[in-house]
Amino acid sequence: MERPASIPATNVKVKFGIKRFGITPAGTKSEIRHTAGHHHLLVDIKQLPNLDEPIPRDAQHIHYDQGETETILELVPGRHTLQLLLGDETHEPHDPPLMSERITVTVQ
């Protein structure tokens, strides 16, 4: 098993990225279906949300409705998992889903 990355602070700048796909605010309809969307950060989830429904909105499913590509994440010391999931204009995952690998970090 891979050793988790160590982060020295509880407030960490996280940058999001995606290749060959547009980032737009929530509610923005693309001319061609599923060519753009916005990020959702999944924090410490045990399993993915239902990929046929809108992504939940809570402390573990953080929405970046304005098309943000970075954030300051406040995490308590300890081990955490992070994963990005792109949603369409109605917060539903794309089909097929566009998501990052889940990473594990340890906050000192």
Instruction: Give per-residue pLDDT as tens, 65-85.
Output: 999 999 999 998 999 999 999
Instruction: Yes or no: say if 86 and 98 are a contact pair by the CB < 8 Å rule.
Output: yes
pLDDT of residue 1: 44
pTM: 0.89
> Residue 80 maps to which CATH number?
2.60.40
Q: Point out which residues pair with 7 in neighbouring strands.
A: 107
Instruction: Yes or no: say if 50 and 56 are a contact pair by the CB < 8 Å rule.
Output: no
Pairing of strands 11-15, 70-74: antiparallel
pLDDT of residue 2: 54
Give the end-to-end CA distance of the chain in Å, rounded to a whole number.
Answer: 20
pLDDT of residue 108: 85
Domain that holds residue 61: 5-107
Domain total in the chain: 1
